[in-house]
Structure 1
Amino acid sequence: MSVLATAIGSMPGDETTGAGYREAVKVVLDQLPDLAAVPEQPGRGPAATMTGRTLAVVAGLDVDLQPAGWRLTGGSGSPGLDHRRTRSLLGQDLDALEELGQGYAGVVKLQVAGPWTLAATVEKPRGDLVLGDHGARRDLAEALAEGLRDHVRDVRRRMPAAASLVVQLDEPALASVLAAAVPTASGFGRHRAVHPPEASALLETVIGAVVAEGAEPWVHSCSAGTPLALLRGAGARGLLVDVDRLAAADHDVLAEALEAGDVVVLGLVPSTDPQGAVSDTALTQRIVRWLDMLGLDPTSGRLGVSPTCGLAGASYDWSRRALALSRTVADNLANLG
């Protein structure tokens, strides 16, 4: 029996602090020998944030960086300077992964913003969010799906020894999208709520592209109110959640996922430097109590352990320690089984 240990994706540091991208790759490959998350390092600037990095993957649409954030500029096929920078940075990062990951035989996990979080953070050419335009958000989701196909192929070529690939869609904005809680550009209004069938349909578009390329689709959100049942219905075969933000109904959905053989990754290792000591024993016991509440044990399904969210706000030392703790807790649970 094995229990997974992984990371959500983001890591601290930038190229000027001595904790640059290559160092982040080394830490992840060293601490997560079975399921390495390709590091993201948003401290390097807009091109390295979750949105910027995902726009480097999107196919057929051009973007540029405005004071308010990323904005679509059309599909001219001639990306501007900002867009070229995002693609160049991603290419450099994958070069580092390819070089340092030679011989890595575990699963490799890629992370991108999901279609709804992307629509809630990118503007249309004339302003306001893509979220407010039914056709624009569909086009963006389709462009993301097509770009992911190429992205998965590229990483598979670079990491031939890896057993398989996972694509994690980050959807921290999904709960707000469904609840009409995303502000308009003026800040005085809110975008209309998206109905669950449409939310599911766009997720299915992107997840279908991931599955078509032979990768496993997971969805992560550390936001309270994320509809886990909707994610499973759209085809997600892995759910990554923050234990402290689960609602009562979420526990039943996660139990059903485990019983169906899907992955459930529980985020409970602190993602920023804690005030006091954090022991692997206490963390292990917390998961055991959660499993007992559900009438399950560590051998039920495909269980995972991770930090509560990304580690971008942690110190370098704690980021390494948090990954090591995740692995130790996973080993503890596996030994119980």
Structure 2
Amino acid sequence: MSVLATAIGSMPGEDSGGAAYREAVKVVLDSLPDLACVPELPGRGPAATMTGRTLAVVEGLDVDLQPAGWRLTGSSGSPGLDHRRTRSLLAQDLDAVEELGQGYAGTVKLQLAGPWTLAATVERPRGDVVLGDHGARRDLAAALAEGLGAHVRDVRRRMPSAAALVVQLDEPALASVLAGAVPTASGFGRHRTVHPPEASALLETVIGAVVAEGAEPWVHSCAAGTPLALLRGAGARGLLVDADRLGAADHDVLAEALEAGDAVVLGVVPSTDPDGPSGSVTDTALTQRVVRWLDMLGLDPASGRLGVSPACGLAGASYDWSRRALALSRAVADNLTNLG
């Protein structure tokens, strides 16, 4: 079985005119022939961040942009200027993906913020984040699930030659949500801990919408303490992790996932420029690191659906390193495939 190379999703670039995005699409499609991501360029502003991108997909709830970030404004059915801008930017980006991705025969991966990270980053109409209101966070998850289906259908229509679609839910805030570590608006308090059954239930709502559209649900988090077993229990069929942030129990969960036929993408390539020469990071050394990890688990590279990626998004990398990181991910995946 082949080991796949992919990317988490974000890429460097600040050009709002479209040239930087088109270049990112070309780089991703050329570098990742088996599992390309639809790139995100958060450097272009709030509409292009993980949260802004996801709010462009949400259905039935309106938002606007405040100095503190994105805020729900209700459900008037008449999106305001900021909300229309997020949707317009996403549509323009997907136009570029459709044009440049004609004939792409690999799997295509979409990225959206998961329901808990969205609840921890979007404010309610009267202030403070959605996380603090049980009803509001359920409504936001339902709106995400509804809009996600239309988004998947749109991408599938635009890229009919793609082998399959994966939807990656980004949940960097989940560990903090479960630990009661998300600060209130004042900064002097913390939102109450969300218990695992409720956390799982909202994830199941959104993951169920992914499955209903015939796409495969994966979850990514670079945060230490992310409950990987909870993610699998909620229906995630792929886990993307930073190899440097794994706890002792995480290794067992990842081994179980591989043995069950689920995807595990191990982030081993640095996501920002190394301190020394870029040539000091080699595919040989990275391959050996993955082999040592597999040996620790008692597995080999042919076990399950293993993938390799940068440790996290590449938005903070230089243009040169972002390309080098993708090339290294592919080289490591090829090395591991040959070993298997």
Q: How far is the alpha carbon of 1:17 from its aligned partner?
A: 9.8
What is the match of residue 46 of structure 1?
Answer: 46
Q: Any idea what SS the aligned residue of 1:36 has?
A: strand
User: Paired residue for 1:91?
Assistant: 91
TM-superposed CA distance for 1:15, in Å, is 1.4
**Structure 2 residue identity aligned to 1:167:** V
Tell me what 1:65 maps to.
65
In the alignment, what sits opposite 1:285? 288
Aligned counterparts of 1:265 and 1:23: Cα–Cα separation in 2: 25
Aligned residues: 337
Task: State the one-letter code of the partner of 2:52.
Answer: G
Partner of 1:143: 143
Matched, 1:325 2:325: no
Whole-angstrom distance in 2 between the partners of 1:189 and 1:318 = 39
**CA offsets 1:157-187 (integer angstroms, 9 cap, x no match):** 0000000000000000000000000000000
In structure 1, the residue matched to 2:241 is 241
TM-score for both structures, normalised by structure 2: 0.98
Who is 1:161 aligned against?
A: 161
1:184 pairs with 2:184: yes
For 1:134, the aligned partner's letter is H
> Which residue is 2:307 aligned to?
304
Q: What displacement does 1:14 show?
A: 1.8
* Whole-angstrom CA distance in 2 between matches of 1:140 and 1:72: 9
User: Shift in Å at residue 131 of structure 1?
Assistant: 0.1
Q: Which residue identity does 1:246 align to in structure 2?
A: L
TM-fit CA distance, 1:275: 1.8
Any conservation in 2 of the 1:13–1:19 contact (CA below 8 Å)?
no
Q: SS of 1:20's equivalent?
A: helix
Residue type of the partner of 1:257? A
Partner residue, 1:263: 263
Offset from partner CA, 1:31-59 (integer Å, 9 cap, x none)? 00000000000000000000000000000
Q: What secondary structure, in the 3-state scheme, does the structure 2 residue paired with 1:224 have?
A: coil
CA deviation digits over 1:8-32, x for unaligned, max 9?
Answer: 0000012169961000000000000
In 2, the alpha carbon distance for the partners of 1:51 and 1:267 equals 22
CA contact (8 A) 1:36 1:107 kept: yes
CA deviation vs aligned residue, 1:278-304 (integer Å, no higher than 9, x gap) = 000000000000000000000110000
SS in 2 for 1:317: helix
SS state of the match for residue 232, structure 2? helix
TM-score (norm 1): 0.99
In 2, the alpha carbon distance for the partners of 1:77 and 1:85 equals 15
Tell me if the contact between 1:204 and 1:234 (Cα under 8 Å) persists in the aligned partners. Answer: yes
CA distance in 1, matches of 2:68, 2:16: 26
Preserved CA contact (<8 Å) 1:19 1:316: no
Shift of 1:126: 0.6
**CA distance, structure 2, for counterparts of residue 211 and residue 104 of structure 1:** 22
Q: Is residue 2:85 matched to residue 1:82?
A: no
Q: Please give the root-mean-square deviation of Cα atoms over the aligned residues, in Å.
A: 1.0
Among the aligned pairs, what percent are the same residue? 89
Partners of 1:64 and 1:81 within 8 A in 2 = yes
Alignment correspondent of 1:273: 273
Partner of 1:56: 56
**CA gap 1:19/1:322 in 2 versus in 1, 3 angstroms:** farther
Q: Secondary structure at the match of 2:121?
A: coil
Give runs of aligned pairs for residues 212-251 of structure 1, distance below 5 A.
212-251=212-251
Structure 1, unaligned stretches of length 5 or more? none
